[in-house]
Amino acid sequence: MTIGSGIGLLITILYSFLPLIISTQHLAYTEVSKYYSIVGIISFIASLCFAAGLLILVINTVKKQPVIHNQFPKSTDYNHD
């Protein structure tokens, strides 16, 4: 989940600066399309990593056995009747 979030954050930053980079290099539309396709594929993979990590976290949380017995320790106050 952390890997997917990190890559997603980097891709978001890259999406912000990509038009600036493209405009300074005066690239053709086909080149721009290639860059956006590559970034989109990487973003899709990051989304899958995040989803898989979240699913693993939810499964592990649900499978955890709740401990009901001995949840509150017995009092050690012997002066109380």
Q: pLDDT 10s digit of each residue in the chain, 81 long? A: 788 889 989 998 988 888 888 888 888 888 888 989 999 999 999 999 999 999 999 898 888 766 666 666 676 666 655
pTM over 0.85: no
Tell me how crowded residue 47 is: count the other CB atoms within 10 A of its CB: 14
Q: What confidence score (pLDDT) does residue 50 get?
A: 92
How distant, in Å, are the alpha carbons of 7, 43, 66 from that of 35? 16, 12, 49
| Residue spans per domain, the chain | 2-63
